[in-house]
Each structure stands twice: as C-alpha cells, then as structure tokens.
Copies of this chain bind each other. A is one copy, B any other.
Amino acid sequence: MSTYHPLSEAQAIEYARHIPQLFQPGSDLTSQEIGDGNLNLVFRISEGATGKSIILKQALPYAKVVGESWPLTLDRARIESEALIIEEGLVPDLVPHVYAYDADLALTVMEDLSDHVIMRRGLIEGNQYPLFAEHIGRFMANTLFFTSDLGKNQQEKKIQQGRFINPELCKITEDLIFDDPYRDAETNNIDAAIRDAAEQLWGDSELHFEVAILRNKFLTSAQALLHGDLHTGSIFIKPDSTKVIDPEFAYYGPMGFDIGAVLANLLLNFAAQEGWSKDDASRSAYRAYLTQTVKDVWTHFEENFRALWNEHGVDRVFAAPGYQDYFLLNLLRDTVGFTGAKMVRRVVGLAHVADIDKIEDAAARERAQRLALTIGTAAIRANRQVTSIDELIAIATRAAERGFVL
C-alpha cells in the first residue's frame, strides 16, 4: 500500500481495518465515498455492529473541478493533517480528531462528523446557530494568536512557517480571489444576466488599487497559521457543536483572511435571502440574525484575542501602550477588505456558493448576485478606513435596503 494510488471503497475498508484500536478485529465494515469536493476522495467507514464510524480522506493529485489537467501536490494532505493536529491542540472541541496520517497515500483518518451538517446547507435551510459566533470567534482567536509572533515562540514560529509553505494551494487563492474576478479571465463563471456588473469590475481602477493592496498582504504578510479556506462549507455544525474541517489551504498569512472568509460567507447568505426568504418579514428577520452573527463573530474573536494577548503574550515590545488597539484596528480593516474580496469572487469567479447558485428563480438569483457584488465591492473600497465592525454591517444593510449599484 505504500505507493500512492487513489483508494477504492474496498481498499479504504482494508486500510481502516488495520488502524490500531479503532474497529473490532474481523468486524463488518462498510464504506461510502461521500466527497462532493473538487480535490479529495472522502470515505466514510462504518462498523455495523457498533455503529462506530470514521472518515478517511485522501488527496487526489489533481483538481476535479477542471478535470485532471490541474495537477495538485499531494503534500496538501500533510498540511491538512498537521494543521488539524495543531488546531486540535489549541481548540480540541472545535475540530475533528485525527486518528492517523499516511504520507505515502496522502491520507488522513479522522473523526466522523455525520451528526453535523455543513453550515452552508444549514444556513440555506434557514437554521440559526446561536453558539456559532462564540465557537468560531474562539477558534480563530486561539489558532491565530498561538501561531503568531504574539503568542508563539518567535523562532519556533519561523520553523513552523517553513513547514507550511503551500505554494500550489496559495496560487489557487491568488488567482481565483485576487486576480481573475477583476479581469475577463477564462476561469471566471459569470451569469449572462450580470455581465454588465462584471464588466464594471474589470474597468474599475480604484477597486483594482485596493485589490492590489489586499493581494500583497496575502502574498507577504506572514502573521499566523491560517486555515486558509474558512468558508461555511468548511464548517460542520449542529446546534451545540461547531467543527472546522479541511485546512488544506493552511499557510502563514494575514489573520484577516480567515476572519473575512467567515464574514463573507455570512454576508453571501445575507444576499442570497433574495431567493430563500418566503416574505419580507422573514427576510428581515433572517438578515438580522446574520448581521448580528457578523457582529458577534468579530466581537467574540476580538474579546478572546485580547484576553489571550493580555494573558499569554510572549513579546514584551508588543505590550507597548496603544499597540494592541492599533493591531486590532488594522486587523479589522484587513478583515473587511478580505470579506469583500471573498464575496466578489463567489459571484463572478470560478467557484460560486450554493447559497446563491441554488436559487431557482432567475430574477431573485440575479438580485442576490448584484447585492453580493454591491456589498463586496463596497467593503473592499471601505476597508482601509473602517473603525468598527458596525460599518461593515451598515454597508450590507444599506445595500439591501436601498438597492444595489452593480
């Protein structure tokens, strides 16, 4: 089994059988390939007698979304596994447990979270998750703080950074988020109905200037070990539990990129309520839930992050009066900028979100797309001036109330 090959379901069962202390010897195991993803095989292996199950996730050497023509390093399985283990050390209740990692097969064996749902689906169904903001705020505060120069030995941080050089997956982000949406790129996926709005983006040099600044931060600002792809499709959730999965894009980057990913996906769903809400009242109510969640995510993040800094800060110099406030203000600004960039790419870039794309009514889908673009571009434009998370919420609320410009 030591040479890489994509596993069949039968092989996945055989593999799982040999992991120590997991299943009963000789027990009846079944496997199901449940991956909907573009990059991996995902097997759920279940033991009939006990009901016990695990997930076996194997990286594919190419991206399925564009066929086998886009080869991808299998090293991302190592990155995912190591990132999960680091995260588990910091916030054990908020990630799946890793049972084993096999470098040769690019394979991670981890806790099955089938009792959770993918959060994107939960939001599309109109569910509310009152613990989510606390959970994800704590997840981000702990993972970002304790892998940064604020909370980790600074020499060990550099060595860890060297283990999370992730050129290929970073390039996907660099292209699909920080380049293609702002030009007529072949990879773009643009509904004919909003072609005019996309063309406006391509000609907007003020926007391009802000995107260049954000792109540069993504390329050079090695603040902390990011999840790197923290959208609502990377979050398993149920009312009392939140689990962050899939950190294969992990690398040392700007903290605001992770926070912005969470907020962007909440606001994409906010825009998508053009299609999902039954009436104006329920739309207003669900949007109020989402904007309150945006605020709570930031607030929980900030409170946790400041508390960690005050209690576990490793750097004497960073205790200079005013520096923590300065740092958090800049982080908020980065967050708003990345929120905007993450929204725009989900409307005109290669990979969309189900929140919007699954809206059947074409007019409502178009409204949702234009609203998402309006919020996203306004966030990008505002990012270096904002002083409060309320300003991001105001951008969204105003755009929904007054109509959208794109």
**Residues on B with beta carbons closer than 8 Å to the beta carbon of A162:** 162, 165
Whether B165 lies near A158 (C-beta < 8 A) is yes
Whether A316 lies near B179 (C-beta < 8 A) is yes
Question: Does A27 sit within 8 A of B, measured CB to CB?
Answer: no
Give bound CA distance, A158 to B221, whole Å.
12
The residue from B166, B183, B209, B323 contacting A212, defined by CB atoms under 8 A apart: B323
Question: Does A219 sit within 8 A of B, measured CB to CB?
Answer: yes
**Residues on B with beta carbons closer than 8 Å to the beta carbon of A211:** 317, 320
- Residues facing B in A169-205 (CB within 8 A) are 170-171, 174, 178-179, 182-183, 205
Whether B165 lies near A213 (C-beta < 8 A) is no
Measured CB to CB, the nearest residue on chain B to A217 is B221
Whether B165 lies near A322 (C-beta < 8 A) is no
Question: Does A154 sit within 8 A of B, measured CB to CB?
Answer: yes
Whether A318 lies near B170 (C-beta < 8 A) is no
Measured CB to CB, the nearest residue on chain B to A167 is B155
Measured CB to CB, the nearest residue on chain B to A168 is B155
Measured CB to CB, the nearest residue on chain B to A158 is B167
**Residues on B with beta carbons closer than 8 Å to the beta carbon of A155:** 167-168, 170-171
Measured CB to CB, the nearest residue on chain B to A214 is B317
Whether A208 lies near B321 (C-beta < 8 A) is yes
**Residues on B with beta carbons closer than 8 Å to the beta carbon of A323:** 208-209, 212-213
**Residues on B with beta carbons closer than 8 Å to the beta carbon of A322:** 205, 209
Q: What is the count of identical protomers in the complex?
A: 2
Task: Indicate whether A174 sits within 8 Å of B154 (C-beta atoms), given known contacts A212-B318, A326-B213.
Answer: yes
Whether A205 lies near B321 (C-beta < 8 A) is yes
**Residues on B with beta carbons closer than 8 Å to the beta carbon of A2:** none
Q: Smallest Cβ distance from A303 to chain B, in angstroms?
A: 21
Give bound CA distance, A183 to B155, whole Å.
21
Interface residues on A, range: 35 or more
Task: Indicate whether A158 sits within 8 Å of B182 (C-beta atoms), given known contacts A208-B320, A212-B320, A323-B212.
Answer: no
**Residues on B with beta carbons closer than 8 Å to the beta carbon of A215:** 315, 317-318
Question: Does A386 sit within 8 A of B, measured CB to CB?
Answer: no
Whether A317 lies near B171 (C-beta < 8 A) is no
Whether A209 lies near B326 (C-beta < 8 A) is yes
Whether B178 lies near A317 (C-beta < 8 A) is yes
Measured CB to CB, the nearest residue on chain B to A221 is B220
Give bound CA distance, A221 to B252, whole Å.
11
**Residues on B with beta carbons closer than 8 Å to the beta carbon of A179:** 316-317
The residue from B166, B205, B212, B221 contacting A221, defined by CB atoms under 8 A apart: B221
Give bound CA distance, A57 to B171, whole Å.
39
Question: Does A216 sit within 8 A of B, measured CB to CB?
Answer: yes
**Residues on B with beta carbons closer than 8 Å to the beta carbon of A205:** 320-322
Q: Smallest Cβ distance from A154 to chain B, in angstroms?
A: 6
Give bound CA distance, A210 to B153, whole Å.
22
Q: Smallest Cβ distance from A325 to chain B, in angstroms?
A: 10
The residue from B156, B216, B315, B321 contacting A149, defined by CB atoms under 8 A apart: B216
Give bound CA distance, A168 to B158, whole Å.
10
**Residues on B with beta carbons closer than 8 Å to the beta carbon of A222:** 220-222
Whether B171 lies near A167 (C-beta < 8 A) is no
A residues within 8 Å of B by Cβ? 149, 154-156, 158-159, 161-162, 165-168, 170-171, 174, 178-179, 182-183, 205, 208-209, 211-213, 215-216, 219-223, 315-318, 320-323, 326-327
> Could you name 13 residue pairs across A and B whose Cβ atoms are closer than 8 Å?
A155-B168, A158-B165, A179-B316, A205-B321, A205-B322, A209-B326, A213-B326, A215-B315, A215-B317, A215-B318, A221-B221, A221-B222, A222-B222
